[in-house]
Chains A and B, each alone.
Chain A
Amino acid sequence: MSGNDALKYQVTLLELVDRVLNKGVVLSGDITLSVADVDLVYVGLRVLLSSVATLEEQAA
């Protein structure tokens, strides 16, 4: 993966998670997702993204 591809991948993943968690129509119903849950998703995402960065370093 080139630096540009890796960046594009990271931004795409971040944009995806942002859309699913923060955008979209709210159809009311019960809240099943706490702020802590959302934070966990982002922490997981950071782990994943940092592993992409590691991959890139190894490839360089």
Chain B
Amino acid sequence: MIHVYGVVDGLEELPRVLGVDEAPLERRRVAGLELVLSRAETPPSAEVSRKTVLRHAQVVEALMCRSAAILPAQLGRAFRDEDQLATAIEEQAVQLERSLERVRGCVEFGLRATPEPADAPEADSGADYMHARLEQVRLQDDLVERLHEPLARLARATSLQRRTGGVSAAYLVAHDDARAFETAAALLESTPGVTVVCTGPWPPYSFAAGAS
């Protein structure tokens, strides 16, 4: 089985870390794209554990530090052999190239914001329930306006998700704007009444799956 960590461009040299299942990393060029992969005798299927997740993430992060652009691959897919790998990459080459250009020179940041629970009365009627739902939407709108929008202005692309009880978002930020972004994000973490956690810089996982 072949485990792929990502598509890279301008990789200086392979990082001195081992891949999943302690397998050595390899570079492979397919359809003009460079991939970093490792091999395993058996499919890692049931072996997918926290350790595998962390190792995959560690390799991707090390690659990000040594390359001009990286598209992290989603964990949970593997190729049987070189032929299957080559066919898959050739089919997606144009889209991959486009995605690689989109994330070039950028890192990703994350935001999770959850309002601190208010003393909401139990919903014992349909009207109360609707009222509570509307209140939740209003709170989310408020978080988007106060937290997401200022950060989005510093980003090249964003992805926003409204969750029950809050919002989470990812930001694609140019290297040159990363410092300003971190400063702005740190300020928002002390917003009263909301638990705000900003994370990153991450490899651009949330922006690897194609331009939208």
Which residues of A does B touch, CB under 8 Å?
7-8, 11-12, 15-17, 19-34, 37-38, 40-41, 44-45, 48
Contact = CB atoms under 8 A, between A and B. Distances in A.
Contacts of A28: 77, 88, 91-92
A24 B49 contact: no
Given A25-B99, A41-B49, A41-B50, A32 B206 contact: no
Contacts of A40: 48-49
A34 B205 CA distance: 20
Interface string B59-99: 01000000000011111111110001100110110001001
Majority-rule SS of B interface residues: mixed
A57 B196 CA distance: 22
B209 A25 contact: yes
B115 to A, nearest CB: 15
Contacts, number: 127
A6 B48 CA distance: 26
A37 B48 contact: yes
15 contacts: A12-B197, A16-B57, A17-B50, A20-B53, A20-B57, A20-B74, A23-B205, A24-B6, A26-B73, A27-B77, A27-B79, A28-B77, A32-B43, A32-B48, A34-B45
Contacts of A33: 45, 48, 75-77
A46 B84 CA distance: 36
Contact of A32 (B7, B77, B92, B195): B77
